[in-house]
């Protein structure tokens, strides 16, 4: 019986049950349910189960193979770690939304057909928007609305592609569609996936929304939406060449915007775009090494990005600040924050080492697979862009952010202290999981979708990585005075819809409001009054209207005295009451009309 229990049903059922439970039971459930889903995903037999027919189409809600099992297990794992991180708080609405979010991500990952995927896809969007709405941060409501609008737009693209594909092929099976890229259906489906992957120019929702979520809710957001999209691209579009270039652009795009950022969580959000670019590029290359690299990097990224957000969230939780310009004054007079929060600083650096591809950490053994695959495929320019983005990642996440957040004199340090023990425990567990694949890469490689004989610890690879990291650190030291954080906020392509929405609201409140008020006065004031006035003597009113029309279209010389007649008629209106015909006379004419109609209707052709 257990082998037929879909893992997504556990968090969804728990989310419905959660509000009725006491606080302690809720917290225990948020930790236990993801672990139970993890056990189901890991132990469940491979294959497709639970298929059924729906309006002539075969649906497969649970397809468990190497690729789906890897993503589902990591999703469930970070769900449990995120729940441990949030144990010090009691936020029932966020806890329920987080479980629904996890259920949606598991449903997408395990879906064997496009319709099931779409249902869980939209469930994810709604749950994530709810997490942003209830985040309690300044601007959460606006960011949640923008998030919801963007993802509903992406859902429309995805559903349109699914319906077109079903009409063209007669099947809803979710499998490789790269060969069908000549059809609009495949492009619409890919566009829906790419919007969730935060591919530019439609990726500004990510750095807009994630920092507006709560300290605890943001952990789940870093894991599910973009990585579900990566899974969908690996499954649906392996070897699609446009993804190579788009992924390479994403890596550099995210790094550039991260370098401009002042807010710690927005900076880390832009690096989600950059790191997802490696995965999108790997999916586009499409070789077994590239697909393994995209899958491995997604798994590693979920854990180290969760760790980085947890550390930045711990600083925000303790100090109430996330802007680097507010955390450090640059004068060195105050105590640096790391002296008050040494464990948090050390755990952050573990995540920074992982994302920066330091040897012995997970990013080193996962990111290198995609970069090597690009080199083997002869994609010279994408290879160069991926390599440059790696240096930029270390510069911003490994040097700029920790230097300004932990190692410069901070006015926030005197009142700071380590966060609650549960937050440190969650960060420590995530840090251990960032270190484990780096020390034992075979553990990660053994669960990848394809057999892997890749060897990350070659002399050339280690020397090249250390050289890149060393020269980047040297450049940071040289240009340090010019890298101080700016208090400004950098806008992405969201500038267009932010300004567009502002212009729309000005129009609605100004010109449109005035026109609407004028229309209201006419249709609900003047027009009914005029009709009532005309009804007092319809025959006289029609006569006045005829006189007015004649006066308007004729000349005074042609019809002398017309204006005087009109003025006299208006003065006398309504005049004598309208003389109605007797009812019997009217009935006679109605009967004659009907008889005539019947004669004409039944005349032979």
Contacts of residue 432, Cβ cutoff 8 Å, sequence gap at least 6: none
Q: What is the pLDDT of residue 1?
A: 41
Q: List pLDDT tens digits, range 4-60.
A: 688 999 999 999 999 889 989 999 999 999 999 999 888 766 666 666 676 667 787
Query: Residue 151 and residue 384: Cα distance in Å, rounded?
Result: 32
Q: C-alpha 332: how far from its chain's center?
A: 39
Between 59 and 488, residue with greater pLDDT: 59
Check whether 163 has a pLDDT greater than 90.
Answer: yes
9-13, 192-196, 343-347, 589-593: range with lowest mean pLDDT = 589-593
Tell me what pLDDT residue 189 has. Answer: 96
Q: How many CB atoms lie within 10 A of CB 409?
A: 16
Residue 257's nearest CA partner among 444, 124, 392 is 392
Dump strand ranges (E) for 62-182: 62-64
Note the pLDDT of residue 9. Answer: 92
pTM of the entire structure?
A: 0.82
- Tens of pLDDT, residue by residue over 497-548, are 666 666 767 777 778 788 888 888 888 888 888 777 777 777 777 888 887 7
For residue 154, give every residue at least 6 positions away whose Cβ sits within 8 Å of its Cβ, in sequence order, or none: 125, 191, 192, 195, 196, 202
Q: Biggest alpha carbon distance in the chain?
A: 111
Per-residue burial over 384-405, b = 16 or more CB atoms within 10 Å of its CB, e = otherwise: ebbbebbbbbbbbbbbbbbbbb
What tokens were used for 89?
């708080």
Spatial neighbors of 571 by CB under 8 A, at least 6 apart, are none
What one-character-per-residue DSSP string does 476-521 give?
HHHTGGGGPPPSS----THHHHHHHHHHHHHHHHTHHHHHHHHHHH
Other CB atoms closer than 10 Å to residue 255's CB: what's the count? 26
Q: Which residues contact 462 (CB under 8 A, 6 or more apart)?
A: 359
Assess whether pLDDT exceeds 60 at residue 578: no
For 269-328, the DSSP string reads HHHHHHHHHHHHHHHHH-SHHHHHHHHHHHHHHHHHHHHHHHHHHHHHHHHS--BHHHH-
pLDDT value of residue 605: 56
In three-state secondary structure terms, 113 is strand
pLDDT of residue 540: 79
Beta strand extents in 409-448 (DSSP E only): none
Cα angle, residue 94 at apex, residues 90 and 95 outer, rounded to 5°: 70
* Residue 543: predicted pLDDT: 80
Q: Look over the chain and give the mean of its residue pLDDT values, rounded to a whole number.
A: 87
Q: Which residues fall within 8 angstroms of residue 228, CB to CB, at 6 or more apart?
A: 71, 105, 108, 109, 121, 124, 196
Residue found under tokens 């710690």: 264
Q: What is the mean predicted confidence (pLDDT) over 452-464?
A: 90
More reliable by pLDDT, 323 or 566:
323
Output the pLDDT for position 294: 95
pLDDT for position 487: 64
- pLDDT at position 410 is 74
pLDDT over 80 (residue 169): yes
- For the chain, the distance separating the N- and C-terminal CA atoms, rounded to the nearest angstrom, is 74
Taking residues 364-380, report their average pLDDT: 92
Of the two residues 238 and 52, the one the predictor is more confident about is: 238
User: Is it the case that residue 115 has pLDDT exceeding 90?
Assistant: yes
Please check whether residue 4 is in contact with residue 49, taking contact to mean a CB–CB distance below 8 angstroms. Answer: yes
Tens-digit pLDDT profile for residues 63-72: 888 899 999 9
Contact by Cβ (8 Å): 6, 84: no
Can you give the pLDDT at residue 253? 94
Classify 136 as helix, strand or coil. coil
**Percentage helix, strand, coil for the chain under 3-state DSSP, each rounded to 5:** 75, 5, 25
d(CA 80, CA 32) in angstroms, rounded, equals: 7
Tokens 């995540």 -> residue: 351
Are the C-beta atoms of 308 and 397 separated by less than 8 Å? yes
The β-bridge partners of 63 are 48
Written as six digits, the tokens of 463 are 């020397």
Q: Residues 330-363: pLDDT tens digits? A: 554 578 888 889 999 999 999 999 999 999 999 9
Contact between 365 and 296 under an 8 Å Cβ cutoff? The reply is yes
Residue 123 contacts by C-beta under 8 Å, 6 or more apart in sequence? 100, 103, 104, 107
């Amino acid at each position: 019986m257990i082998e037929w229990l879909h893992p997504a049903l556990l968090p969804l059922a728990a989310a419905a049950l959660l509000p009725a439970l006491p606080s302690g039971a809720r917290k225990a459930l948020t930790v236990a349910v993801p672990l139970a889903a993890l056990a189901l995903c890991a132990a469940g037999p491979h294959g497709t189960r639970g298929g059924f027919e729906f309006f002539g189409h075969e649906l497969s809600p649970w397809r468990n193979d190497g690729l789906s099992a890897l993503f589902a297990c990591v999703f469930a794992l970070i769900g449990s770690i995120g729940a441990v991180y949030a144990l010090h708080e009691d936020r029932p609405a966020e806890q329920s939304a987080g479980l629904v979010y996890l259920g949606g991500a598991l449903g997408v990952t395990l879906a064997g057909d496009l319709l099931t995927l779409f249902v869980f896809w939209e469930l994810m969007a709604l749950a994530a928007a709810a997490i942003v709405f209830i985040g309690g941060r300044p601007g959460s409501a606006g960011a949640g609305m923008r998030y919801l609008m963007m993802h509903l737009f992406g859902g429309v693209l995805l559903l349109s592609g699914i319906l077109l594909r079903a009409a063209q092929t007669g099947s809803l099976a979710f499998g490789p569609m790269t060969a069908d890229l000549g059809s609009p259906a495949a492009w619409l489906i890919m566009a829906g996936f790419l919007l969730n992957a935060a591919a530019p120019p439609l990726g500004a929702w990510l750095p807009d929304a994630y920092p507006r979520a709560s300290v605890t809710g943001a952990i789940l957001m870093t894991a599910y939406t973009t990585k579900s999209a990566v899974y969908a691209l690996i499954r649906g579009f392996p070897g699609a060449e446009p993804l190579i270039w788009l992924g390479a652009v994403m890596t550099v795009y995210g790094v550039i915007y991260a370098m401009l950022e002042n807010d710690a969580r927005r900076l880390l959000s832009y690096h989600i775009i950059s790191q997802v670019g490696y995965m999108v590029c790997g999916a586009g290359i499409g070789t077994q090494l590239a697909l393994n690299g995209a899958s491995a990097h997604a798994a590693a990224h979920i854990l180290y990005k969760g760790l980085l957000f947890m550390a930045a969230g711990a600083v925000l939780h303790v100090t109430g600040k996330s802007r680097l310009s507010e955390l450090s004054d640059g004068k060195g007079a105050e105590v640096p924050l790391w002296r008050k929060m040494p464990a948090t600083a050390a755990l952050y650096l573990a995540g920074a080492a992982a994302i920066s591809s330091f040897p012995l950490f997970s990013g080193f053994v996962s990111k290198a697979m995609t970069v090597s695959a690009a080199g083997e495929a002869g994609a010279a320019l994408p290879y160069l862009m991926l390599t440059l983005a790696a240096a930029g990642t270390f510069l911003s996440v490994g040097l700029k952010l920790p230097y300004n957040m932990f190692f410069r004199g901070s006015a926030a340090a005197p009142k700071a202290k380590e966060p609650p023990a549960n937050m440190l425990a969650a960060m420590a567990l995530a840090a251990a999981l960032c270190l484990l694949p780096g020390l034992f890469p075979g553990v990660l490689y053994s669960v990848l979708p394809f057999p892997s004989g890749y060897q990350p610890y070659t002399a050339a690879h280690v020397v090249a990585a250390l050289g890149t990291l060393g020269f980047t650190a040297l450049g940071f030291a040289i240009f340090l005075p010019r890298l101080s954080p700016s208090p400004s906020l950098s806008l992405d392509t969201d500038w267009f819809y932010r300004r567009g929405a502002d212009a729309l609201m000005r129009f609605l409140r100004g010109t449109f409001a005035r026109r609407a008020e004028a229309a209201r006065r006419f249709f609900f004031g003047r027009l009914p009054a005029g009709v009532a006035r005309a009804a007092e003597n319809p025959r006289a009113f029609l006569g006045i209207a005829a006189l007015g029309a004649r006066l308007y279209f004729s000349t005074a010389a042609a019809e002398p005295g017309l204006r005087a007649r009109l003025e006299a008629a208006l003065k006398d209106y309504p005049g004598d009451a309208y003389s109605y015909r007797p009812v019997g006379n009217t009935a006679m004419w109605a009967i004659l009309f009907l008889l005539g109609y019947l004669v004409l209707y039944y005349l032979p052709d």
